[in-house]
Amino acid sequence: MKTDNPGTFNELKEYPYEKFAIPGFAMIFFVFILLPILIIFSLATWTDTEPLLAFGISIPLALLFILGCVGYFVQEPNEARVMIFFGKYVGTCRKVGFFWVNPFVSRRKLSLRVRNMDIEPIKVNDKVGNPVMIGMVLVWKIKDTYRAVFDIDTQSLGGINNAALERFVRIQSDAALREVASHYPYDAPDGMEDILTLRGGGDEINELLERKINERLRIAGMEVVEARLNYLAYAPEIAAVMLRRQQAAAIISAREKIVDGAVGMVRMALDKIEKEDIAHFDAARRAAMVSNLLVVLCSDEPATPVLNASQGE
């Protein structure tokens, strides 16, 4: 669709170059063989009899030869050229091969290949205010050549300033990363294990990040192929404290499992002793037995038994 109106960011403003694009080899024959022959023939034929006519024919042919040398270009797969005729956008050529076009049409070359970008870890406060370091890997490419050339300031002499283009992508990706990270906690608070977190979100966080970056890059005609977190950690100033907190939580969880297992084993032992009529305990002896068994089963160190060697009178 050809339009000069801005429209929405979702609208594709690029359209194909529909003017003539002659195969380059055909124009090589015309420019470098036919035109020189005509120039030499006119000079050789008319110089003695009609010198003005000879030069009148030769000068336009020489100008055509000079102009003909300018319009060639070679285009590889996954490349495009934005065609501009005296300041007016006239389409984008995505054809692959060797071509000749109007020499007055300027051609700005763009790469449509997929590009990688490693966003260095940045410090962000998560939803609960903890400072975290977060980084990502971004895979992107140009989708709308019109927007990439005319809607953002990335111009350079004869084409596109790739450094400026990548700087735009980096800044917008950084902003989207900060936005996503600030809406979720690094880890689930106690009692809220079911909420979405940066550490446990996985594909959901990556999909949200990809969508947010696409919203920001669409204005520049770029598309995110993939965005993934590749670095996530607490900031150095709280990393040691959070490590002790995680260690404490792990110890508590392990102790809970040990106690649950020990209580089950004590119950099984007492029930089996009484069922097989090995011994009978009153309340006091039963409590002592439970205490001794729990000490043995829950202790970090092997228990040292104390034998009662006294003889009754």
**Token couple for 115:** 């590009």
Q: What are phi and psi of 221, to 5 degrees?
A: 75, 25
Going by C-alpha positions, the residue among 180, 112, 178 that lies closest to residue 143 is 112
184 within 8 A of 126, measured Cβ to Cβ: yes
d(CA 6, CA 10): 10
Q: 236: phi > 0 → left, psi -120 to 50 → alpha, else beta; which?
A: alpha
Residue pair 68/39 in contact by the 8 Å Cβ criterion: no
Which secondary structure element, helix H or strand E, spans residue 62, and what is its range?
helix 51-68
State the DSSP code for 311: P
pLDDT for res 313: 45
Q: Helix, strand, or coil here: 248?
A: helix
pLDDT digits (tens, 9 = 90+) for 148-157: 988 888 765 5
For residues 93 and 108, give the distance between their C-alpha atoms in angstroms, rounded to a whole number: 10
List the pLDDT tens digit at each of the 313 positions of the chain: 444 444 456 678 899 998 888 888 888 887 777 677 776 766 666 665 666 766 677 777 777 777 778 888 999 999 999 999 998 999 999 999 999 998 899 999 999 999 999 989 999 988 888 889 999 999 999 999 999 988 888 765 555 678 888 899 999 999 999 999 989 988 877 656 678 888 888 889 999 999 999 999 998 899 999 999 999 988 888 766 667 766 666 777 777 787 788 788 878 877 787 777 777 777 777 777 777 777 776 766 666 665 555 544 4
Q: Is 80 exposed, middle or buried (0-12, 13-18, 19+ CB in 10 A)?
A: buried
- Give pLDDT, residue 140: 94
